[in-house]
Structure 1
C-alpha cells in the first residue's frame, strides 16, 4: 500500500518553478506549437502538495500523434494512466521534484487541468476545501486519496466558476 503525504507548496516552489521552465523549454523545442502549462498544486500558492510537478501540454488534434511520439522519446509513459486518442500521460521520477506530463488535445474531454488550476487560483475557498481533503488523507492509502480527489474534481467541474472557463 502506497501512503500519501503532503507538504506546503513553498517547500518545492523554487525547484518546481525551475524544473517547469527547464522542461517547458525542452518540450517547446520538439513541439513548438504546444501550449505548455504549469498545473497541479505546485502552481497554486499556499496549497498542500505531494511534491511533484505537473505539466499540461496542450496540442491541436492534427499534432497529437506526433506529440505522443516526441514526448515518448523524452519521458516514460505513465503506465497507471489511461490512454485515449486525445490524452496520454508521461512521467520522469528522476527529476527533483518528480515530473508528470499530461498531453491533451485542446478542447478535448481531458483538456481540464489548466481549468482546475485557474479555478483554485482565483477562488481561495475551493483551494482551502481541496487542502482540507488532503489533510483528511494525510498518511493514508494513496488509492483512497485518489478516489476522493477525483470526486472533488468532478464536483469542481460542476461549479459556475469552472463551467465559465
Structure 2
C-alpha cells in the first residue's frame, strides 16, 4: 500500500468530486452529496482515492443505487453492505467510490469522522502516522487498523468502518 501527500492527489480529487456532484445531483436532485474520506481532509495522506457520500431517504437507497449505476458504478463486492449502506465503485475512473447512505442512519459516521479530523489537526497527524506505518501492508490488515482508529475517533469501539 502506498500513500500520497495531499498536494499530490487532492487537486485531482476535488476536480472529480465537483464533476461527479453535478452528475449525481442531475440523477438524484434530492440527494445530499458530500466529499468524504482522506481527500476531503486538508493535509491527510491518502491512497489518492475519492470517496463521495450520497445521502438519500431510507426508502430510496435501493433505487438510488440502481440509478447511480448509470454513471458507470457497480456495487463493491468485498465490503460492508446493509439496507442503509451500499458502496459503489467506478468502472470508468480508477479510485472513485460512492457511499450511498440512508439519511439519519448510523452510516452517517463517515461525515462525523471527516468533521472530527478537519476540526482537530492532531487527529490528522495521528491518522497520517497510522498510514505511514501501513506502507507496504496488505489491504485487509490496513483496513483493520484503520477501522480501529476510526472507532476510537468516533468514541465507539462497536462501530467499525471497513
1:11 Cα deviation from its structure 2 partner? 0.5
TM-score (ref. length: structure 2): 0.91
Cα distance between partner residues in 2 of 1:26 and 1:91: 15
1:49 Cα deviation from its structure 2 partner? 0.4
Residues 33-83 of structure 1, C-alpha deviations (whole Å, 9 max, x = no match): 001000011111111000100001011112222212211332111111122
The runs of at least 4 aligned residues of structure 1 exceeding 6 Å deviation read: none
2:80 is the alignment partner of 1:82? yes
Partner of 1:68: 65
Residues 101-137 of structure 1, C-alpha deviations (whole Å, 9 max, x = no match): 1010111121111111111001011111111100111
Greater shift after overlay, 72-81 or 116-125? 72-81
1:93 Cα deviation from its structure 2 partner? 5.0
Cα distance between partner residues in 1 of 2:135 and 2:30: 39
Cα distance between partner residues in 2 of 1:148 and 1:90: 22
Query: What is the DSSP-based 3-state SS (H/G/I as helix, E as strand, rest coil) of the residue aligned with 1:154?
Result: helix
Aligned counterpart in structure 2 of residue 42 of structure 1, from 39, 44, 66: 39
Query: Contact 1:10 / 1:45 at 8 angstroms: preserved in 2?
Result: no
Greater relative contact order (Cα < 8 A, sep 6+): 1
Unaligned ranges ≥5, structure 2: 157-162
Query: What is the DSSP-based 3-state SS (H/G/I as helix, E as strand, rest coil) of the residue aligned with 2:101?
Result: strand
Report the count of equivalent residues. 155
Unaligned ranges ≥5, structure 1: 160-165
Partner of 2:6: 9
2:113 is the alignment partner of 1:107? no
